[in-house]
Amino acid sequence: MDRDRKTTALKSIQGRIWSNGYNSGDLHSQAFEDVPRAFARWQQQGKAICIYSSGSMLAQKLLFAHTEAGDLTPFISSFFDTTIGAKREIESYRRIASELKVPPREIVFVSDVTAELDAAADAGFETLLCVRPGNHSQAANAHAVIQTFDQIP
């Protein structure tokens, strides 16, 4: 984990460890204040919210279920992890679009990593680079930049 490896087995173990922490009440996750507001807005607009993370699906569900803003999982329709493929591979995004039964051009992918955005864009997704406090800086690129989910209609 110190090397930030994105291996499925390691992330699965991480999810189980987190499960104990969240279920005991020792862990709570943080969400930027705009996230719950954006999730509610998008749900009201009939938009599907999906999460694609290098963390296991279990870890994702735990993280979103135990935020300081409350349980955000009711807003999320699908979770994807590295079992669908690596986040820097075009084919992973094609698989996601296929599984969602949505044309890639109708999917907006938001990330703070340009290599992931590049792969998603190459698969036909609309992409947004989200620059937040604490993120690693990214090289100049062709992706539209946002600082908050309030900037996403």
Would 42 be classed as within a structural domain?
A: no
Mean pLDDT across 46-74:
94
Confidence of residue 9 (pLDDT cuts 50, 70, 90): confident
Confidence of residue 4 (pLDDT cuts 50, 70, 90): low
Do residue 9 and residue 75 come from a single domain? yes
List the CATH number of the domain containing 110.
Answer: 3.40.50.1000
Structural domain including 93 reads 84-153
Residue given tokens 């998603």 in the structure block: 120
pLDDT at 140 over 90: no
pLDDT, the chain, mean: 92
Mean pLDDT across 88-106:
98
Do residue 69 and residue 109 come from a single domain? no
Confidence of residue 63 (pLDDT cuts 50, 70, 90): very high
Mean pLDDT across 28-48:
97
pLDDT at 34 over 80: yes
Do residue 120 and residue 73 come from a single domain? no
Specify the pTM.
0.87
Would 71 be classed as within a structural domain?
A: yes
Would 38 be classed as within a structural domain?
A: no
Kindly list the distances between the CA atom of residue 85 and the CA atoms of 38, 61, 109, 113, 121, in Å, as whole numbers in the listed order.
27, 19, 15, 16, 16
Would 143 be classed as within a structural domain?
A: yes
Give the DSSP H or E segment for 32.
Answer: none
- The side-by-side arrangement of strands in the sheet containing 108-111 is 108-111, 126-130, 144-146
Strands (E), the chain: 49-52, 76-80, 108-111, 126-130, 144-146
Do residue 6 and residue 24 come from a single domain? yes
Report residue 80: phi and psi, to 5°. -130, 145
The count of structural domains within the chain is 2
